[in-house]
Amino acid sequence: MNLIIDVGNTRVKAAVFEKDSLIELFVFEKSKIVSEIKKIISNHKISSAIISSVAKLSDFKLQKLHQILDLVELSHQTKVPFKNKYATPKTLGVDRIALASAGVRKYPNKNILIIDAGTCVTFDFVNKKGEYLGGAISPGIKMRYNALHNYTAKLPLLEASTPESYIGNNTNNSIHSGVVNGICNEIDGVINQYKEEFGDLTVVLTGGDTNFLAKQLKNGIFANPNFVLEGLHTILIYNRAND
């Protein structure tokens, strides 16, 4: 079994994979990472692990994890199953590296656009030659609601909700229409741009807002909330095979 550790700003996702199947998923606070990982490995026969962190994890905690795990730390220097043609590879986020890896593993020899709808919305494109070309970064749903509230005097802070109509008939409905219809039209528009240039295109939607957005998009997509975890598992297997 392999252990995949995805460290966010406040929470950690840890997934146990057996062969290519995710068999158990754990979510816990970042401050508890060492104790929680110890619990996981006490209940599963973990042979190898990988850790990806978009937020800084202390050297002390990393050292503790290395003591209890055969651990790969994902960075821009880690071997990956695609050709990275990003102009500044050192600045490419580890989450985007994982997504590209999942794309080439699951959809080989295809043009793939991966959309990660979380705190930010990221677009990552890998062509049919297995070359990562880049993409885009845009504000996510919650960030858009927060911005409307924080940068105006009177607009309320709302939770995401599917608008009843694209014509908002009061302030709250207008905000929902602006945020939700706006982000959906943005995503559909970006997909159409890629389709115009690259023709046959496979589109994957992932991230925390996957389920909320998937049913509202006009373009056909594959929805997979665990695509980052699958990508990290792909990188781990690739590195162990090429050690």
Binding site feature residues for substrate: 86, 93-96, 171
| Residues in contact with 91: Cβ distance below 8 Å, sequence separation at least 6, in sequence order | none
Binding site residues for ATP, as ranges?
A: 6-13, 119
119's enclosing H/E stretch is none
For the chain, helix, strand, coil in percent to 5 are: 40, 25, 35
Supply the residues annotated as catalytic: 95
Binding site residues for K(+), as ranges?
A: 116
Binding site residues, as ranges?
A: 6-13, 86, 93-96, 116, 119, 171
The DSSP secondary structure of 185-230, one letter per residue, reads HHHHHHHHHHHHHHSS-EEEEESTTHHHHHTT-SS--EE-TTHHHH
Which residues, listed in sequence order, are joined to residue 137 by a DSSP beta bridge?
122
| Residues in contact with 225: Cβ distance below 8 Å, sequence separation at least 6, in sequence order | 206, 207, 208, 210, 211
Q: How many Å apart are CA 103 and CA 119, to the nearest integer? A: 21
Q: How many Å apart are CA 221 and CA 207, to the nearest integer? A: 14
* 173 and 164 Cβ atoms separated by less than 8 Å: yes
Give the sign of the dihedral formed by CA 56, CA 57, CA 59, CA 65.
negative
Q: Tokens 């996981």 identify what position?
A: 40
| DSSP state at residue 79 | -
* 130 and 104 Cβ atoms separated by less than 8 Å: yes
